[in-house]
Structure 1
Amino acid sequence: MAALIDSGYRHIYIIDTQNSLGIDHEATVDGIHFTDLGFMRFADFLIDNFAQLKLINTGLKKKKLRY
């Protein structure tokens, strides 16, 4: 990581993904490969984090869905 920063790369972020898929074990088929639900949860997780970092502007109020 330090080498990338020293090379001039900016805007490097580390996002902790612990519990990004929930704790009910329904988001993966085998603990690794996402199910449809897993992809939805991870996409929502990334959108929330990108918005907090001001990397994206969602523009619309996001309706919180319970998967």
Structure 2
Amino acid sequence: MKKHAEFFKDRTSFERLKYLNVEVINDHGIQSQHMQDFADKIKAYYKQKKEVKRELKALQSLKCLCR
């Protein structure tokens, strides 16, 4: 990459800019979907964690009753 960057290092020469091709991609939709998927995973994780805690508490209370 450094080899290619050296070609554009001279900032005074606008002649080199004609070789620079930049394309901007709007990824807002992709980013939004990624964030939604991430939020869904976090929500599912905490829901499962809450269920496990509830089951553990129920098992512990049963254990106390059996004594």
Q: Same fold (TM over 0.5)?
A: no
Q: State the TM-score, normalized to the length of structure 2.
A: 0.30
Tell me: higher relative CO, structure 1 or 2? Use CA pairs within 8 A at least 6 residues apart: 1
Q: State the TM-score, normalized to the length of structure 1.
A: 0.30
Higher Cα Rg, which structure: 2
* Higher helix content, 1 or 2: 2
